[in-house]
Structure 1
Amino acid sequence: MKSRSIYKEFYKKLIIASSLFIIILSFIFYEYTKNSFYNSIQDNLLYQAKKIEKSYVKEDFKAVRTQSQSIEIIPSSEKEKIEFSDFKKNNEYYLRLIYALNDGTSLQITKDITLERDLLYSIIFRNLFGLAIPGFVLMLLYSLIVSKSLLKPIMQINKKLSNMDENTLAQIDTKDLPDEFLTLANSINSLTNRIATYVKFKKELFVGIAHELKTPLAVMKLKNELMLKKTREKNEYEDALKLTIKQIDDMNIMISSILDIGRTEGAQFEIPTDIDLVDYIKRKTNDYKMLSNQRGIDTIFTSNVSSLNISIRVTLFNQILQNFVQNAIKFTPDNHKILIKLKKINEKIVIRVIDEGSGIDENIDVFAPFKKIGSKNGVGLGLYLAKIASDALNAKISIKNRRDNVKGCVAKLVLINTSKITEN
């Protein structure tokens, strides 16, 4: 397929449109001038006829014939009182007026307009031709300037994008952009932010994976080397094997979490499913209660709507909700409670998971890979998975400390522009 430049296409179409405008305007000007010219001659002939009519006496009237005009009396016809016509005779052009008189005759005035007509055509065509050429040149320059100025924002955005790579994901300056390009620029800026975050997290993920796998391998290697230096008691060999098994179990947990990242990214291509979100979270809450009740933790779900039908990728949504609740159960002391709240606000759906744990350090990016909160066991990939899922859903997630004088955290998920939302 042949490459087409939007600049050349715009410039070409603007020239064509401008040229057609000049041609049409020239024809309009020509027709207007010609009609004005003929109307002026007709008015003059009509003025003569009316003046003659005032002093007209049939017996005293004498026909007048000059080189450019003739005035005579002819028998009246049944046509209009005033009739104009033009004709050509011997390569000369004439305009004729027949003006009916009251005595059954008509006054006929014939004027030679050859000179006026030639002059009219000569002046008009000469002037039009003289104006059309510089006008067309000016239009070319104008088209060039306008096309460049209008396409400048696109060229600016294109240049910015062409110079980008994973190390230079700079934002597009929207200060001087026209309003029509703000949406595009903001969308690109939002995309580059997501790419930058994704690249940053991926780098941290690879470094973290290497570090997290290297540590248990080093521990196992050192322990086994020590065991081989000299003969040991049976229980010492057993301890070394138990340590190796524990380290392998920890590595398996980490590898499972890394595989979950792949599954979460694959779920981005899942087809959205129609569900009742209120009923879905109710059922999930009952499942979570089986875990939380073992420690005397009460898990409570509330909603400001009785049902909420939406179309959503369930796997991604469940990844976020499950992570929020599992963290809440992990950090909430025994015999306390966890609140799961759903609230429909206009076109937004806000879901909060509120615990009574120890809180977090809000200066830490808890969504980065291998960022562990507190001293609880874990790989530190749960919230990273939740972030991937929320980005795929075009949702927003956050974790903040509670502001109601109660220790704990509020994990919030905001779903925006979810299709097929109906509520009761």
Structure 2
Amino acid sequence: MMVSYKERIARRLTLVTALIVLVVFAIIYLVVNFTVVESIDRELQLETDKHVGQIFLVNGEIRFVHKDEWQEQEHSQIQLNPIFIEIVDMQGKSMDRSPNLGANRLSFYPDRAKKGEAWTLKTGSREVRQMQIPLNHAGKQEGYMLVAKSFEDARELLTNLRNILLLLYPGILISLFLAMRYLAGKSIQPIQQIILKTNLISQSNLNERIPVTEPNDEIAQLTRSINGLLGRLEQSLIREKQFTSDASHELRTPLAVMRGTLEVLIRKPRETDEYVEKIKMALASIDRMSEMIEQLLSLARVGKGKMSREDVELISFTRDFAQQAEKETGRKIDFETNLATPLYTQVNEKSLQIILTNLVGNAVKYSAPKTTIQLQVGNHEGASFIQISDAGKGMSKDSLAKIFDPFYRELDQTGHSVPGTGLGLAIVKKLAVESDIQVEVESEKGLGSSFRLIFN
């Protein structure tokens, strides 16, 4: 059975409060019970202290210091809270008792006489609280004096208190549950409004946001988190649409060139050289599409699987890469480092290889043929880094914010974009994020660019 969140909150709060109220009621009852019993025990102690020096047993006979005290009214009449006294010998045989006991007797417990404690028991139809003390004469114990006080009023008080608490308890619980249920409903109203508003947001209106009513509470934090998620989804959808549009455009261009080239070839017979030239143009378009498709697949594969990391010694790795890249590109690539000891870091070696390949490829593409590409490995403020620098065309400040976007290529002086797919830096950025590598870029128009990979 489905239980609403409001009901669950109300039940949990009621359960906790019920336990607290139960503990409080139990403490109240125990405190009252202790106070009442302690008060009666104190009166019994006062009574025994008053009579213990006035009554003696001498050779089995009872003797009084003040006989009229023993015969005073409180022991000869049945009062509201009478005191009962009985004197017994060592075997517990009754020798005398107060007239208000009538035919009843007090219970005798020899083992409790020296403990000075009181206990509750039944005497006839009465419930009393009793205490007993030894009676000594000339250093010899002759018998016991039993003193008791009616416990009926105290029992009635405790019974009434218990009944009242038992009657109040379910009433309090029901009232608490209804109050908690109402308050829980009021408390989750903002969440229900958020749910209704969120259900109205779809792909067509991702630009809408949930209004933040209270700026400092948890509901506002939830609202801001959902708005942040919607913002990221919106940006992701925009990038996806832009990516799809750019990819379609970039693939459409070489296809159009190929189609135009082939259509020209079939219009009329051509010379062999002209066929060769047109076929080369078509092959160039195919190569461009192949390169772009390969880059798109690489970009799509990034982050699909969990990349393992291993210890990589950056100095030897970068030196070997520089030597290999120099052979493949035919350009001068200088390797520099000011470190005398090996420099290890945790990184995926294949991802780092792709990142360096793309960055060095861009440096080669955007710099003059005879200029040198520099690769530097170092350590700054405890962070290892690899820096790739060139003395090429550089980039404007406006371009720096866009260079990692897929298909972005800065226009040259003639207003045309530089040949390429525009996916290299997008792959670099995505691999860097997956590898926990920070990428910093410094560039100035006409003075070249510098990319720094910082390993966390």
TM-score, normalised on structure 2? Answer: 0.72
Superposition deviation, residue 30 in structure 1:
1.4
Superposition deviation, residue 242 in structure 1:
3.0
Within 5 Å, give how 1:25-44 maps onto structure 2: 25-44=24-43
Aligned partner of residue 375 in structure 2, secondary structure: strand
Q: Specify the alignment match of 2:421 in structure 1.
A: 379
Q: 2:320 is matched with which residue: 275, 283, 290?
A: 283
**What is the CA–CA distance in structure 1 between the aligned matches of 2:40 and 2:334, rounded to whole Å?**
103
Q: Specify the alignment match of 2:94 in structure 1.
A: none
**What is the CA–CA distance in structure 1 between the aligned matches of 2:24 and 2:300, rounded to whole Å?**
66
| Count of residues in correspondence between the two structures | 405
**What is the CA–CA distance in structure 2 between the aligned matches of 1:158 and 1:352, rounded to whole Å?**
49
**What is the CA–CA distance in structure 1 between the aligned matches of 2:313 and 2:54, rounded to whole Å?**
101
Q: 2:334 is matched with which residue: 298, 320, 345?
A: 298
Superposition deviation, residue 233 in structure 1:
4.9
2:290 partner letter: N
Q: 2:117 is matched with which residue: 83, 95, 98?
A: 83
**What is the CA–CA distance in structure 1 between the aligned matches of 2:327 and 2:312, rounded to whole Å?**
22
Q: Specify the alignment match of 2:172 in structure 1.
A: 135
Aligned partner of residue 397 in structure 2, secondary structure: coil
2:155 partner letter: R
Matched, 1:411 2:451: yes
Matched, 1:208 2:246: yes
1:17 partner letter: V
Superposition deviation, residue 384 in structure 1:
1.5
**What is the CA–CA distance in structure 2 between the aligned matches of 1:83 and 1:339, rounded to whole Å?**
95
CA contact (8 A) 2:121 2:127 kept: yes
Name whichever of 148-157 and 362-371 sits farther off.
Answer: 148-157
In 2 relative to 1, CA 353–233 (structure 1 residues): closer, same or farther, beyond 3 Å? closer
Aligned partner of residue 174 in structure 2, secondary structure: helix
Q: Specify the alignment match of 1:389 in structure 2.
A: 431
Aligned partner of residue 300 in structure 1, secondary structure: strand
**What is the CA–CA distance in structure 1 between the aligned matches of 2:398 and 2:436, rounded to whole Å?**
24
Matched, 1:319 2:319: no
Q: Specify the alignment match of 1:110 in structure 2.
A: 148
**What is the CA–CA distance in structure 2 between the aligned matches of 1:137 and 1:260, rounded to whole Å?**
64
Aligned partner of residue 27 in structure 2, secondary structure: helix
Larger Rg: 2
Within 5 Å, give how 1:22-421 maps onto structure 2: 22-53=21-52, 58-59=63-64, 60-61=66-67, 62=70, 64-67=75-78, 68-75=82-89, 79-80=113-114, 82-101=116-135, 103=137, 104=141, 105-126=143-164, 128-141=165-178, 143-144=180-181, 168=206, 175-178=215-218, 195-229=233-267, 233-265=271-303, 268-278=304-314, 279-291=316-328, 294-301=330-337, 306-310=342-346, 312-333=347-368, 334-343=370-379, 350-364=385-399, 365-373=402-410, 375=412, 376-401=418-443, 407-416=447-456
**What is the CA–CA distance in structure 2 between the aligned matches of 1:349 and 1:163, rounded to whole Å?**
48
**What is the CA–CA distance in structure 2 between the aligned matches of 1:244 and 1:261, rounded to whole Å?**
26
Name whichever of 56-65 and 11-20 sits farther off.
Answer: 56-65
Which whole-Å deviations, capped at 9, do the CAs of 1:98-147 have from their partners, x for residues lacking one?
A: 23455345432211212321232113321x13432443234325644675
Question: Identity of paired residues, percent?
Answer: 21
In 2 relative to 1, CA 352–415 (structure 1 residues): closer, same or farther, beyond 3 Å? same
In 2 relative to 1, CA 92–17 (structure 1 residues): closer, same or farther, beyond 3 Å? same
CA contact (8 A) 1:82 1:100 kept: no
Instruction: Give me the CA root mean square deviation.
Output: 4.0
CA contact (8 A) 1:328 1:338 kept: no
2:427 partner letter: L
CA contact (8 A) 1:350 1:413 kept: yes
**What is the CA–CA distance in structure 2 between the aligned matches of 1:93 and 1:273, rounded to whole Å?**
83
CA contact (8 A) 1:362 1:400 kept: no
**What is the CA–CA distance in structure 2 between the aligned matches of 1:90 and 1:400, rounded to whole Å?**
105
**Runs of 5+ consecutive residues of structure 1 not aligned to the other structure:** 417-424
In 2 relative to 1, CA 214–335 (structure 1 residues): closer, same or farther, beyond 3 Å? closer
In 2 relative to 1, CA 233–354 (structure 1 residues): closer, same or farther, beyond 3 Å? closer
TM-score, normalised on structure 1? Answer: 0.77
In 2 relative to 1, CA 187–207 (structure 1 residues): closer, same or farther, beyond 3 Å? same
Superposition deviation, residue 149 in structure 1:
8.2
**What is the CA–CA distance in structure 2 between the aligned matches of 1:367 and 1:394, rounded to whole Å?**
16
1:207 partner letter: S
